[in-house]
Amino acid sequence: MPERTTLPASSDLPPLGHEAVALYQHALEYGLSDRTPAAGLSPDLHAASLATLRAWHLLRPGADDGVWEAVTPHHAIATLLGPQEAGLREAQAELRLCEGRVAARRAALEGLPLPQAHQRPAAAEVLEILPDVHAARGAISASVAQCRTEVVSFQPGGGRPAEILADALPRDLALLERGIRVRCVYQHPARFHQPTQDYVRAASAAGSQIRTLDELFGQMIIVDQCVAFIPDRTSPRGAVVIRQPSAVAFLYDAFEQSWSRATPYLSGPAAARAVTEDIKRTLAVLLADGLKDEVIARRLGLSLRTCRRHISELMEQLGARSRTQAGVLIHAHGLHLGAGASAVPAVTP
C-alpha cells in the first residue's frame, strides 16, 4: 500500500498549478497510478503533480498498491484544514477567556476612588473621534443645526469641490436667515475658483463674511465657541470633535488672529493683483527657507503645477540660476520681510 502523507504546514504546500489540476480531473474520472503517467504529462510532471495532490490531501490510497483515488475538495478540506481550524477555535476560546479576565481586572481597578486632581474630565469634555467622512458630515450638520450665535471656519487649500459647496450653500443660507453669524477664512487661490466665487457671491449677499489669507494651519469649524471640528490626522477621512472649553477657546483665538490678518473676499483685477502679490511674497519666504515644491504648494493651497510655475517665474525675474541663488537674492531684495518688502511682478494663479 502507498505510504500515507503527513499533514504539511500551509506554508509548505506546493502550489496547485495547471498540471496538478488537470491530473486531479483525470483522477476523478479514471483514478491514478504511480507507474503510468496520465495522458499529456511527462513522467516527471506526472510525479510532481501527483505529489502536489497528495500534499493537498486530494488523493487517498486505492485498493491496489500504487493506485490512488481522488476525493472531493470538501473531504480534503476536512482532512487538511480540520486540525488547524480546531486549533484556531481553541486559541480563540482561550483568547476570549483572557479578554474576560483582563476586562474584569480593569473594571475592578477603574472602580477604585481617585484623588480629585486625577479624576477624568466630564464626558462632554472628552475628545470624540469620527471615523469617516459620513460620520463627520453628520456630526457637523447636527451641531450647526443647533447653532445659536455663530459658526466660524478655516477652509485651507484652493477652491472647495463644487458638490461640497452646493451642499453647504443651503445650510449656510438657512443659518443666516436665523440671524446666525457666519465667518469663513479661505486661502487666496480660492478667489480664482469659479464654484467658490459663485458660492461666495450668494453667501455674501445673504450676510456671510468671507476673507482669504496666504496660509492657514488646517481645516477647522467652530460652533458657538463650544464645539470644534478638526481633521483626524490618523484617518484622513475622519474628524476629531473637541468640546473641552480651554481647547475650543484656544482654537477660536487662533481663528480671530487669522481673521484680523485676512483680506475681505473681493472680485475684480485690483483684488486679484493684491492677493497675488501676497501669494508671491509668501512663496518667496518659503522658497528662501528651502522648503520643497510639494510643501510650498500645500501650504499656499496651490496645485503643484501652479506652484512650480510661480517658482520658475520668480527665479527668472530674480535672474537666479538655482534655488540656492534664488534664496540669496530673495534676502537681498527684502522679499522675505513681508508686506513692506519690494514686490516682484504679479502673476495670476
The pLDDT score that the predictor gives to residue 122 is 54
CA 13 to chain centre: 37
pLDDT band at 223 (very low <50, low <70, confident <90, very high): very high
pLDDT band at 175 (very low <50, low <70, confident <90, very high): very high
**Is pLDDT of 330 > 80?**
no
The pLDDT score that the predictor gives to residue 29 is 83
Identify the structural domains of the chain with CATH numbers, from first to last. Answer: 1-104 (1.10.10), 124-264 (3.30.870.10), 269-337 (1.10.10.10)
d(CA 1, CA 170): 81
pLDDT in tens, 139-170: 998 999 899 999 999 998 877 888 888 888 99
**Interhelix angle 133-145/162-177, nearest 10 degrees:** 20
> Residue for cell digits 510525479?
47
Give me the phi and psi of 36, to 5 degrees please: -110, 110
Give pairs for 133-141: CB < 8 Å, separation 24+: 133/237, 133/238, 135/238, 135/239, 136/229, 136/237, 136/238, 136/239, 139/229, 139/239, 139/241, 140/221, 140/229, 140/239, 141/171
> What's the whole-number mean pLDDT along residues 54-70?
85
d(CA 187, CA 299): 9
The pLDDT score that the predictor gives to residue 272 is 65
> What's the whole-number mean pLDDT along residues 111-121?
61
CB 314 within 8 A of CB 281: no
Residue 283: name the closest of 216, 338, 219 by CA: 338
d(CA 155, CA 272): 19
pLDDT band at 333 (very low <50, low <70, confident <90, very high): low
Across all residues in the chain, what is the average pLDDT? 82
Q: Over the chain, what HEC string results? A: CCCCCCCCCHHHCCCCCHHHHHHHHHHHHHCEECCCCCCCCCHHHHHHHHHHHHHCCCEEECCCCCEEEECCHHHHHHHHHHHHHHHHHHHHHHHHHHHHHHHHHHHHHHCCCCCHHHCCCCHHHCCEEECCHHHHHHHHHHHHHCCCCEEEEEECCCCCCHHHHHHHHHHHHHHHHCCCEEEEEEEHHHHHCHHHHHHHHHHHHCCCEEEEECCCCCCEEEECCCEEEEECCCCCCCEEEECCHHHHHHHHHHHHHHHHHCEECCCCHHHHHHHHHHHHHHHHHHHHCCCCHHHHHHHHCCCHHHHHHHHHHHHHHHCCCCHHHHHHHHHHHCHHHCCCCCCCCCCCC
d(CA 96, CA 172): 49
CB 344 within 8 A of CB 310: no
> What's the whole-number mean pLDDT along residues 41-66?
85
pLDDT in tens, 10-48: 457 898 888 888 888 888 888 887 777 776 778 888 888
Residue 210 pairs in a beta bridge with 184
Residues of the chain with pLDDT > 70: what percent? Answer: 85
> What's the whole-number mean pLDDT along residues 271-280?
71
Q: Which residues contact 307 (CB under 8 A, 6 or more apart)?
A: 283, 293, 296, 297, 300
pLDDT band at 3 (very low <50, low <70, confident <90, very high): very low
